[in-house]
Structure 1
Amino acid sequence: MSIQVFGLPVSRGVAIGRAVLVASSRVDVAHYYVEAQAVEHEVERLRHARDAVAQELMLLKEEVPEDAHAELVALLDVHLMLLHDDSLAEATKQWVRERHYNAEWAIAAQLEVVARQFDEMEDEYLRERKADVEQVAERLLLALGRAAALQPEALKPRDFAGEDPLVLVANDISPADMLQFKRSVFTGFVTDVGGRTSHTAIVARSMDIPAVVGAREASRLVRQDDWLVIDGDAGVLIVNPSPIVLEEYRFRQRQCELERARLDRLRHTPCVTLDGQAVELLANIELPADAPTALASGAVGVGLFRTEFMFMNREGRLPDEEEQFEGYRQAVAGLKGLPVTIRTVDIGADKPLDRMNVHELRHEHLLNPALGLRAIRWSLSEPEMFARQLRAVLRAAALGKVRLLIPMLAHVEEILRVKAAIAEAQESLARQGLAHGRVELGAMIEVPAAALMMPVFLRHFDFVSIGTNDLIQYTLAIDRADETVSHLYDAWHPVVLQLVHQVITQAQQAGKPVCVCGEMAGDPDFTELLLAMGLRSFSMHPSQISLIKQRVLRTDTRTLRARLAATLASDRPQDTWAGG
């Protein structure tokens, strides 16, 4: 039976494929593909984990006191039986051999299948045995975690050429996990939770694949291998579509591909409005290897290099100076002389580090990490880490044009501490005789306090970048990753637009460059409005550059000025601008 699940559209287009479920678990599960020569190794890992758990359970049975309740021994026997049952043991091996899932993912996938079977049982007692299966699966996952395992970084995604396309379905996907899937086989993804500007959604757009988040019950309603259609424009997931609906979406998919091909022809066209205003279109990237993609998209530089993604999926081990320098060097080289804006690590909120778990355990009462130790606050609390990053950036600046961008500043004291840290990094490099260059220093304007104290910021910085995602979040007190309040996240809110306009105007009056690097920059609905405000520098996902360039090429900024004043004065700016 075909069903529709509604969520939030976060990355446009149509994806069609078979469902791959990533089941949630109280134990962290790594998800990656193993190559053909590693399959039997993964099966062997499963066998070792099963034997280890069986031994644990047998020891527990032996240690049960004689006066203990008989049901305790019976429960251990049930777990032993489940451990060796074909529905878990053999079927798990099939996920490895047929789909090339790693051992942990195979267990999680089979747990999803078996759990659903228990949910459908009429007998209440049997339904409750699902908990036993979950406990056995978690014991297996813990056993795998204790054993030496192949690392995901050492493995390449499977080549699924000729097989059905795949769509990822999960309760949630962390930004770090998204990077694991970035160059993999998925044509789209759906999550139960998330908002339009959560970092998971941002990475999805950078991958240029259709995505729907906040779909609530998707991971419960979808089964492994169901045929799915993701309508990334409408925010709809269709499960097991009828042949007619499937053919309609395949037609739409072909139309999207043709439109993308037409836009690609604009990649190297100079970006100038009809009235001769030159506009700079830059790219946002997550990893050094993304630099060639940015260049190929027609970007005239990188306006935002999110360095925090170099710090993730490392089991708590932070990159040292040499590793960071190599990454920044690679990005600079990949841009072939064009400028690269490197943002210092923006960790926290929906992008936690593995090693932050200790901090989070000490602060379990902290319910809103977006207001906690994140971005520059975290960097200043880790001076050795911050010094390594600054030194690496300064060394890369000797090889090309590098700008340094500081996130989430709100206090003069923070500004002074950052500048002092940069000066110390420069001095230490000079003492060691290491080549380094000068960087233009910029501030992210993403906290209302920063927007309201622009004169102070403009005295200290060479340029500013408006991070509209966080500026909206903090202005409206909306957690942008929380789908329960995502309907209140409003980029058209009058105060948001007034703050953006104020920042652009004051920066231009001071003769300082200003760029918008948040999601608003890559949204064609805002292109003309931002041009009317005087913005001439946009930074966005490489996949959006041709679309935004098309809007710029068709715009005459002289016709927009009269509409701007009325829009900024309106209680309903979106309606006013659209009707202007």
Structure 2
Amino acid sequence: MASFTLHGIPVSRGISIGRAHLLTPAALEVKHYLVPEEQVEAEVQRLQDAIAQVHRDLEALWTDLPKDAPTELGAFIDVHALILSDPMISEAPLDIIRTRHYNAEWALVTQIDELSSQFDEIEDEYLRERKHDIQQVAERVLKVLMGTALPMPPSREDDDSYRPQMIVVAHDISPADMLAFRDRSFIGFVTDVGGQNSHTAIVARSLDIPAAVGLSQASRLIEQDDWVIIDGDAGVVICNPSPLVLEQYRARQAALLKARKRLLKLKKTPAVTRDGTPVTLLANIELPDDCPAALEAGATGVGLFRSEFLFMGRAGQQHKMPSEDEQFEQYRKAVLAMKGRPVTIRTLDIGADKPLDPTEHNALNPALGLRAIRYCLAEPQMFLTQLRAILRASAYGKVRILIPMLAHAFEIDQSLAMLKQAKATLLDENVKFDPAVEVGAMIEIPAAALALPMFIKRLDFLSIGTNDLIQYTLAIDRVDYEVAHLYNPLHPAVLQLIAMTIDAGKKAGKDVAVCGEMAGDVKLTRLLLGMGLREFSMHPAQLLAVKQEILNSDLKAIAPVTRRILRSMEPAEIAQAVEQLQTM
């Protein structure tokens, strides 16, 4: 068998070596025929029965979740159940059967294709990935309709003989199916589609399972039982490797395992550089259930609670906003879970590029449209409700409020006025809250980085959102495959803006954090330290590796190289100097 290599998107680090198990989507082939008038209602009932069966299957999956299963898996099963209950899935195909006399499979696929085309028009990468969730739910229904079940190899309990650990290869795979494979020696997965923000990527990171997505033709080129290597760090998949390559990767795999065990010993070690400078390491979370993982990794607080996840995935509820009490309970849960450590809650970062209703009309340039704080100020009652909920949670521990996408003084002033109003209403109701709750700004627009005195005068702290700062500085749409390669954290303009922000905050005595992807990239840890950064916020899985870099860093040695990087306008010089930092 010939060996070949595929290149995709790395979404979860590590190396996996095993046999390929192909998962073929049920929706690839469905029958297309017209149902006679007298059989229409029977066909409607057939589809309703299949939907009901999938509901029962999802409920069973939820009930059987192992105690050690990541919380994301339960959340994703809930999302799939909500999608299944949405009238766009549960009712619209029934109308197609009744009006067009399509058979159930044809009606369902027709409706899913229509929904998928609407999602394709969405600019935001995260929301566009939700199309795959809808397709995965539809595939479950189709499997019931067509009398096909998910092909599964026997588990270890079913076969006493040794079975090589397996790597699932699929066009796409749902989190629920990942859970099912987990008990059957599932050690990695490869998909044709997907991106950094797909649910499969999120689950892979939470399970800490090596994965590569976006390989396009993997499910067609890789055959059942082929030997497969996943290099999760590079997003590379090697099929049928030579004995020499296999031996090299086994050695790398063993070395990574030893390194990971060593990292675990650093959990309780304070993050201090070799020359004695303390550094704060915080966690980014999406939901309160992420807090245990943050504590397990040794985080000293939450630097970014992405509150929009409480507002999303509410299919079947007519996109109803979460109530104040519902939000309060979630924020309080996170605050209590962190046991006195600070929790920074970002106000709703949603809007034209992350619409609550994906079927609504989208702006021509969503990333530049009505999003984040612009959306909140345009919906003052919604914003006031969220601020009240956050303030109420501040009575239970240290809470800070972070406002995204600020660019104008009036946006800051209006936000602070709304916060003042929220405090006044709570005082009138004798509701407890922290009156001194700190308020900070996300620095993610170049205009903000270039007008820092305006922010420092009005606010308590700053947090640099490098993902958007890079996108806006370089005019790069990260969703657009044709220009994504131009997205470069080491562009001189990006580095200048980050350094300016850190320096301005330091001079004013204000805390400055980095909460974007750069904070969790160990190749950039020493560069950020050299710029003066003393507060990093990242995914919990990245925290110990970054801590190790900090413990091995000497700020006096790093400083001159960092100054040279910030003076340079030549990409090659910058890249070479960043590599030099890794050896110091």
Q: CA deviation at 1:409?
A: 1.1
What fraction of aligned residue pairs are identical, expressed as a percent? 51
Letter in 2 for 1:288: P
The aligned runs of 1:54-73 (5 Å cut-off) are 57-59=35-37
Q: CA deviation at 1:228?
A: 4.4
**Cα distance change on mapping 1:166 and 1:441 into 2, 3 Å:** farther
Q: CA deviation at 1:13?
A: 0.6
SS in structure 1 opposite 2:395?
coil
Q: CA RMSD in A?
A: 4.3
The aligned runs of 1:15-164 (5 Å cut-off) are 15-16=16-17, 18-19=20-21, 21=23, 57-59=35-37, 135=106, 138=109
SS in structure 2 opposite 1:398?
helix
Q: CA deviation at 1:476?
A: 0.7
Q: Deviations over 1:275-330 (max 9, x none)?
A: 11011111111110111110111111111111112222220233211111111111
Q: Deviations over 1:137-189 (max 9, x none)?
A: 516979998xx9xxxxxxxxx9977588665666679xxx7799799946444
- Residue in 1 aligned with 2:144? none
Q: Distance in 2 between matches of 1:418 and 1:25?
A: 48
- Residue in 2 aligned with 1:451? 449
CA contact (8 A) 1:21 1:224 kept: no
CA contact (8 A) 1:214 1:483 kept: no
Give the aligned length.
Answer: 483
**Cα distance change on mapping 1:576 and 1:282 into 2, 3 Å:** same
Asked whether 1:4 is paired with 2:5, we answer yes
- Residue in 2 aligned with 1:496? 494
Q: Distance in 2 between matches of 1:182 and 1:462?
A: 43
**Cα distance change on mapping 1:444 and 1:24 into 2, 3 Å:** farther
Q: Deviations over 1:114-142 (max 9, x none)?
A: xxxxxxxxxxxxxxxxx999836516979
CA contact (8 A) 2:61 2:176 kept: no
Identify the range of structure 1 (328-337 vs 375-384) with the bigger mean alpha-carbon deviation: 375-384
Q: Deviations over 1:204-237 (max 9, x none)?
A: 5455332334423335545788764321122212
Identify the range of structure 1 (17-26 vs 283-292) with the bigger mean alpha-carbon deviation: 17-26
CA contact (8 A) 1:193 1:483 kept: no
Letter in 2 for 1:415: I
Q: Deviations over 1:76-127 (max 9, x none)?
A: xxxx9xx99xxxx9xx99xx89x9899x99xxxxxxxxxxxxxxxxxxxxxx
Q: Distance in 2 between matches of 1:301 and 1:180?
A: 33
Q: Distance in 1 between matches of 2:377 and 2:283?
A: 27
**Cα distance change on mapping 1:61 and 1:24 into 2, 3 Å:** closer
Q: Deviations over 1:45-104 (max 9, x none)?
A: xxxx99xx98x7222999xxxxxxxxxxxxxxxxx9xx99xxxx9xx99xx89x9899x9
The aligned runs of 1:473-552 (5 Å cut-off) are 473-552=471-550
Letter in 1 for 2:504: Q
CA contact (8 A) 1:391 1:426 kept: yes
Letter in 2 for 1:317: K
SS in structure 1 opposite 2:441?
strand
- Residue in 1 aligned with 2:289? 289
Q: Deviations over 1:217-262 (max 9, x none)?
A: 3355457887643211222123465777666545543432222111
SS in structure 2 opposite 1:487?
helix
Unaligned 5+ runs, structure 2: 63-76, 81-101, 114-133, 142-151, 159-163
Identify the range of structure 1 (289-298 vs 566-575) with the bigger mean alpha-carbon deviation: 566-575
CA contact (8 A) 1:19 1:222 kept: no
- Residue in 1 aligned with 2:149? none
Q: Deviations over 1:342-400 (max 9, x none)?
A: 111222577x35x42353xx34xx45422222222222222222222111110110000
CA contact (8 A) 1:504 1:534 kept: yes
The equivalent position to 2:402 in structure 1, one of 389, 401, 405, is 405
- Residue in 2 aligned with 1:554? 552
- Residue in 1 aligned with 2:312? 312
Letter in 1 for 2:554: D
**Cα distance change on mapping 1:58 and 1:241 into 2, 3 Å:** farther
Q: CA deviation at 1:11?
A: 2.8
- Residue in 1 aligned with 2:208? 208
Asked whether 1:379 is paired with 2:380, we answer no
Unaligned 5+ runs, structure 1: 27-48, 63-79, 106-130, 149-157
Q: Deviations over 1:420-456 (max 9, x none)?
A: 2211211122222222223210100011111111110
Identify the range of structure 1 (405-414 vs 254-263) with the bigger mean alpha-carbon deviation: 254-263
SS in structure 2 opposite 1:479?
coil
Q: CA deviation at 1:417?
A: 1.8
Asked whether 1:302 is paired with 2:281, we answer no
CA contact (8 A) 1:195 1:481 kept: no
Report the TM-score, using the length of structure 1 for normalisation: 0.72
